[in-house]
Structures are given as C-alpha cells and as structure tokens.
C-alpha cells in the first residue's frame, strides 16, 4: 500500500523549537566531549584508553549529526527566528588521528612487556638458584656427616 504525502508543513515555532533543542543537545554533547577528553588524558591503562576513545567517538558522531541537522534547518527553513541566524556556524570537530595516541600506547605496551620479562626472569632465576643452593647445602651436610662418621669410626677403632 502506497501513501503519498500531498503537503507537509511546519510552523516557524516547530522549526525554532527544534533548532533550540538541537542547540541544547549540541551544548550538552560538547560538555560531555570535554569531560571524556579529560578522562582520556588521565587514563593509564590501554583498555581504559580504548574504551574512552570509543565513547568519545560516539559523542563526536552525535555532535556531527546535530550540527548537520542544524545546518539543514538553516539552509531549508527561512522561517527560523532571525536571532538564531546571528550565532556563529558550528563545525564538527575532527576525531584525533591514531598517530596522536600511538607513542603513548606504544610506551605502555613496551612497559608492560618489560614488566612481563622481569617477572619471567625472576622466576627463572629462582628456579635455577633454589636447586643450586639445595645442592650446595646438601653437599655441605653430606660432607659434615661423612666427617663425623669417619671421626666416630676412628675413635671406635682406636679404643
């Protein structure tokens, strides 16, 4: 079943209300973006950085959609209040490129790898040293026992 729209109308109040609502959403999205950028700067774990970056990406996509809708209203609806036209045009912010974060992520990855190797090296040293010391202590104890046995045999033979 096909429906055909003969006439679509919107009042200046509807468009103005929508435009003002979009401005409010844009301001809210910009505040959220700033907060996520602060969190991103404080993140120390790679997983946290990636999670925050993903949310930041979504916020910026929403911001871009809001800006595009506002621009569409400005271009197609001359009935929007003239006071709204006096405001500067909003531009969508570009997402930071991956190269901006690569040095920090690489630094964290190298640090994690270094810590892992330190742990492996410590375990290896302990696995080598414990049997070595046990062998040395065993040899010392065996030697003392052998000396005592020899001393008691000599004392028993001489008596």
Domain boundaries, the chain: 9-96, 98-159
- Cα pseudo-dihedral 43, 44, 46, 47, rounded to 10: -60
Residue 128 has what pLDDT?
A: 87
What distance in Å separates the CA atoms of residue 42 and residue 39, rounded to the nearest whole number? 5
In 3D space, the residue among 49, 157, 37 whose CA is nearest the CA of residue 93 turns out to be 37
Residue numbers in the chain where pLDDT is lower than 50 = 5-8, 83, 86
pLDDT at 93: 58
**Span 62-100, pLDDT tens digits:** 999 999 988 888 877 665 555 455 455 555 555 555 555
pTM over 0.85: no
Distances (CA, A) of 130 to 101, 103, 127: 44, 40, 6
What confidence score (pLDDT) does residue 74 get? Answer: 80
Burial of 30 (0-12, 13-18, 19+ CB in 10 A): middle
């Amino acid at each position: 079943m096909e429906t055909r729209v003969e006439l679509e109308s919107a009042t200046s109040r509807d468009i103005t209300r929508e435009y003002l609502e979009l401005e409010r959403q844009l301001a809210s999205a910009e505040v959220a973006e700033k907060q996520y950028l602060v969190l991103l700067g404080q993140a120390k774990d790679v997983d946290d950085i990636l999670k925050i970056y993903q949310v930041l990406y979504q916020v910026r996509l929403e911001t871009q959609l809001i800006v595009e809708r506002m621009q569409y209203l400005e271009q197609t609806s001359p009935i929007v209040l003239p006071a709204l036209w006096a405001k500067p045009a909003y531009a969508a912010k570009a997402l930071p490129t991956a190269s901006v974060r690569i040095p920090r992520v690489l630094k964290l990855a190298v640090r994690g790898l270094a810590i892992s190797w330190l742990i492996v090296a410590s375990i290896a040293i302990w696995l080598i040293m414990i049997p070595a010391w046990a062998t040395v202590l065993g040899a010392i104890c065996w030697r003392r026992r052998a000396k005592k046995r020899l001393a008691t045999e000599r004392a028993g033979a001489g008596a």
